[in-house]
Amino acid sequence: MRRHVAALVWRAALAAALVCGIGLLPWLSRTDPALTVLKARSADRDPTPGVLADIRDQLGLDKGPLSLLGEWLGGLWRGDAGRSWLSGDEVAPAVLQALGASLLLMAVALAVAALTAALICARTLWLGAHRRLDGRRSGGGGSAVLAALPEFLTASVLATVVGVQLGWLPALGWYGPRWTVLPALALGLPAGAVIGRLLDDLLPGAFAEPWALAAAARGLPGRGIARQAVRRCLPGLLPNLGLFVVGLTGGAVAVEQIFDIPGLGRTTLQAALAQDLPVLQAGTLALVLLAALAAGLAALATRRLVGPALRDGALQSLHRPAPSVRSTLPFVYGGLLLLVVALGLPRDPLALDTGERLRPPSGSHPFGTDALGRDVLARVAHGALDTLLLALAIGAAALLTGVLLGLAPRLSGPLVDTVSAVPPVLLALLVTAVAGSGPATPALAVGAVAWAPLAAHTSALLRQERAALHVTATRGLGADRWYLLRHELLPAALPPVTRHALLRLPGIALALASLAFLGLGAQPPSPEWGLLLAENQPYAERAPWAVLAPAAVLALLGAIAVSAAGGVRLPRRVRRRAPEPPLEETSPAEELVGAR
């Protein structure tokens, strides 16, 4: 009981710190909130001292940020979230309406993600149910492409082709279920690809457990064995699934912008840009509460799925030693990417030639030209250096941070939920306010949240691994915590978390690209991949090569990550015959490990 109270207090303190930090956003960024509100209300009106004084008096800005924050917090107890600084309307109804739109979009996107994950795992499920895995694993090329698809690019293509040109589904607005299909596809396909890869990574271990062998020996239907294998693997994925729920609700800013959806992410972004603090604080608080609810439901579902085995230490380990999967695919994909970079680096990415605008691919311009006549191959190659090196650095830091914080779930659990509730765009604005704008701002914003899924994955794996039979037996023979952590827990958890980090590498590049697409990342004339997509998106119908080239290298990066992840395995322990040591020199734990 005391632990639950402490966790609740820690979660409340983090939420309060986040909301208070947002309430101080204008003062942290050293901007005049009256001037920002005036520009948002009427951009043509002159900011005379009298006009700004009237706005300050109307909003009570002269009271200071702490007084305004205290009044807003005091109103929450009465169900009053204040009034918008821009429209003067009550904030609570508007935020609840935006939350409802985001939840509906999230539900449909989760259905798309579940179907995508099922298709990715279908081969492994069929082979495992019929006892034909034999160490074979799927290549994951299709899932790599889906996971590396930029959400905003997918949304633009779907809106242009399916919505406008073919007219099959609505491409703009939010008026009913039919309007949810295209944005749900844009959000659900990449999310489902990542979930499917994580599930596909766990399934071979489930099919190798004694219950699966016994069920197959008794002639039980393969469909039932496959269903139970999925149920066995779900507890290790539920924390990350909760993060997906929050991310799809508040982080779908670019998709909501493209499809003109009045969701919570878009509402929060507009409030942040206009410094409409009551709306911004209420929207952020709604996301934090949603994150806490999702985490609680994930924990409850985990207990229901695992049952008393988690408490009694009677689980089998899903991460048994296995030989590394040798494949030439990472070298093939990496060679293609290096070839593109090598061919493009000698070219000038900034050379303008207005007479060569939007030229299709040719011998002189293998990837064509953009709207200013610049060589797309040159810009893709030069942008690869910044994008890839930055993504690799952020990924490595996220892996280290995620593993370390995952070792302390009571500390990191509420922190993961709170950090994941903040849309990356809003976090970029907060980082800009504190550290100032610059080339490091997108990296700081993405790095501040990139560790959260890895920490949640580490905690979930360690929780189940601690309940494994061999760990329980080793503990019973006198092994201490450090021995268990070093010899049993970390060797089992590090390979799957490292594979997860590799799968997240394209997502980090996409997050950087999304910030650039929304104007919060790299600025022209930088050849950063996200900026290339943003610059060339208006010409996607006329010159698709200008968009497909950076999208293709992002997909190639995803293929490299997925194929390389298959080689990260826990090696088998080699049993060596050695003279038996004296009994007093061998600990019980070491004897058990040697027997294994």
Q: Which of 28, 57, 78 is the last residue of a domain?
A: 78
Closest CA to 280 of 97, 84, 89: 84
Residue 575's pLDDT is 41
CA 252-265-55 angle, 5° bins: 150
SS3 call for 132: coil
pTM: 0.76
* Mean pLDDT, residues 199-222 taken together: 84
**Does residue 64 sit in the same domain as residue 99?**
no
Of 47-61, 222-236, 296-310, the poorest mean pLDDT is in 296-310
Lookup: tokens for 429: 């604005």
Residues 6+ apart with CB under 8 A from 365: 356, 359, 375, 376, 377
Do residues 409 and 456 share a domain? yes
Q: Nearest-CA neighbor of 315 among 492, 479, 133?
A: 492
- Name the percent of the chain lying above pLDDT 70: 83
pLDDT of res. 574: 42
Question: 30, 48, 78 — which closes off a domain?
Answer: 78
Q: Is 85 inside any structural domain?
A: no
The residue-averaged pLDDT of 14-32 equals 78
* Least confident interval from 33-37, 251-255, 327-331, 571-575: 571-575
CA neighbor of 572 nearest in space, from 138, 210, 135: 135
Write the pLDDT tens digit of every residue in 407-451. Answer: 888 888 888 878 877 776 677 767 766 666 666 777 888 888 888
pLDDT at 397: 92
Give yes or no: residues 276 and 347 share one domain: no
In whole angstroms, how large is the CA radius of gyration of the chain? 26
Which residues form the domain of 65? 1-78
Q: How does DSSP classify residue 471?
A: H
Residue-level pLDDT at 576: 40
Co-location of 429 and 454 in the same domain: yes
pLDDT greater at residue 537 or residue 213: 213
Half-sphere exposure (Cβ direction) of 239: Cα atoms closer than 13 Å: 23
Phi, psi of 315 (to 5 degrees): -90, 155
Task: Pick the range with the lowest mean pLDDT from 10-19, 291-300, 573-582.
Answer: 573-582
Give the ranges where 130-237 is alpha helix by DSSP (H).
Answer: 141-147, 151-157, 181-207, 210-217, 222-233
Is 323 within a domain?
Answer: no
- Whole-number average pLDDT of the chain: 79
Is residue 235 situated within a structural domain?
Answer: yes
Q: What pLDDT is recorded for position 375?
A: 92
Q: What are phi and psi of 375, to 5 degrees?
A: -70, 120
Q: What region does 121 belong to: left with phi over 0, alpha with psi -120 to 50, or beta? A: alpha
User: Is a pLDDT exceeding 70 seen at residue 521?
Assistant: no
Give the C-alpha separation, 78 to 76, whole Å.
5
pLDDT band at 595 (very low <50, low <70, confident <90, very high): very low
112-134, pLDDT tens digit by residue?
999 999 998 888 899 888 888 76
- Rounded to an integer, the average pLDDT of 312-323 is 58
Q: Are residues 556 and 518 in the same domain?
A: yes
**What's the confidence (pLDDT) of residue 573?**
47
Any residues with CB less than 8 A from the CB of 225 and at least 6 apart, and which?
128, 129, 207, 212, 215, 216
Pairwise CA distance, residues 489 & 151, whole Å = 36
pLDDT band at 578 (very low <50, low <70, confident <90, very high): very low
- Residue 368 shares a structural domain with residue 266: no
Helix (H) or strand (E) holding 290: helix 277-306
In this model, does residue 587 exceed pLDDT 50? no
Report yes or no: 508 and 393 within 8 Å, Cβ to Cβ. Answer: no
Q: Supply the pLDDT for residue 147.
A: 67
Quick one: 171 and 301 in the same domain? yes
Asked whether residue 581 is assigned to any structural domain, the reply reads no
Domain count, the chain: 3
| Residues 49 and 193 occupy one common structural domain | no
Which of 213-227, 231-245, 332-346 has the lowest average pLDDT?
Answer: 231-245
Q: How does residue 309 score in pLDDT terms, banded at 50, 70 and 90?
A: low
Q: What is the mean pLDDT of residues 77-96?
A: 87
Does 315 reside within a domain? no
Q: Is the pLDDT of residue 400 over 90?
A: yes
Sign of CA dihedral 326, 329, 333, 336: positive
DSSP type of residue 109: H
Under 8 Å between Cβ of 297 and 242:
yes
Same-domain pairing of 65 and 160: no
283 and 354 share a domain?
Answer: no
Predicted confidence band of residue 401 (pLDDT cuts 50, 70, 90): very high
Give the pLDDT score at 133. Answer: 78
For residues 97 and 146, state if they share a domain.
yes
Cα–Cα distance for residue pair 303/231, rounded to 1 Å: 12
| In a shared domain, residues 423 and 551 | yes
Q: Is residue 178 part of a domain?
A: yes
| Spatial distance between the Cα atoms of 70 and 245, rounded to a whole number of angstroms | 31
On the question of pLDDT at 340 being above 50, the answer is: yes
